[in-house]
Amino acid sequence: MADKNAGSTYVMKSKATSEKLGDYSGEITDARRLKSRFQNFPAATEGLTGYFNPRGGWADAQSAVRFLAQECSQRGITFITEPRGRATSLRIRAREKRVVGVNAAEGELIFATQIILATGAWSGQLFPISHASSASGQSVGFVQLTPKEAESLRDMPVIMNFSTGVLVFSPYPGNNLLKVAHHGFGVANQVAVDNGSRLVSSPKLAGNNAKAGYLPEDADRHLRDGLKQLVPQFRDRP
């Protein structure tokens, strides 16, 4: 959803771009009509434009990766983990302009005939891309619901207000946690790499990057305001 007076410009242009690529599945409508489309749609919709994408949604990333790892293991694929499997830099064959391996936090260089980097927010630590990209941390909150409360939102779609950047997911199956997030400029975490010659924004290479129970004051305000609009019945929950 987006504010009719401002944020809907992004929605309109995004839909136009999708249609140029051959995707006509998205539908722009008055946000109030979404309540009739979904039985469990708790958001306040007055004054908002709605964009319904039937191909969108969310996936349980943790379960998906766990399943993939199990499938790979059953097929004889080996995972190198802990410090031995933690890449600290790339080994580049300059004459061929080709990456031929990675230096690990522990042990010898790991060579490979083909290397696929899927390093996400850690990419800036491995090669200089700060001129084009920088990682940032985004604020996420969770609200614990009772089984009955979670059931009332079970078929709720992912709802996002493009004007504020706040989005909310249906409760997680099994633990009844309602996830709310705010996508904004984010917070930088400076890390020195290449023996201190470069400073990049990146998560830690080792350990858990989540600081449970801590939210910057402005992030807490954004999430609270988002809950008030998207799932108002739980706006005052801890």
* Chain segment 155-188, per-residue pLDDT in tens: 888 999 888 899 999 998 889 999 999 988 888 8
- 81-102: buried (b, 16+ CB within 10 Å) or exposed (e) per residue? eeeeebbeeebeeeeeeebebb
Instruction: Give the range among 117-121, 130-134, 211-215, 222-226 with minimum mean pLDDT.
Output: 211-215
pTM for this entry: 0.80
Which residues belong to CATH 3.30.9.10 in the chain?
Answer: 120-238
pLDDT tens for 10-43 read 788 888 998 999 988 888 888 888 888 887 888 8
Q: With 90 as the cut, is the pLDDT of residue 195 above it?
A: no
Name the CATH code of domain 120-238 (choices 3.30.9.10, 3.40.50.9100, 3.40.50.300, 3.40.50.1110): 3.30.9.10
Question: Which tokens hold the place of 111?
Answer: 């060579």
Q: What is the pLDDT of residue 73?
A: 96
- Residue entry with tokens 């739980």: 234
pLDDT range class, residue 8, cuts 50, 70, 90: low
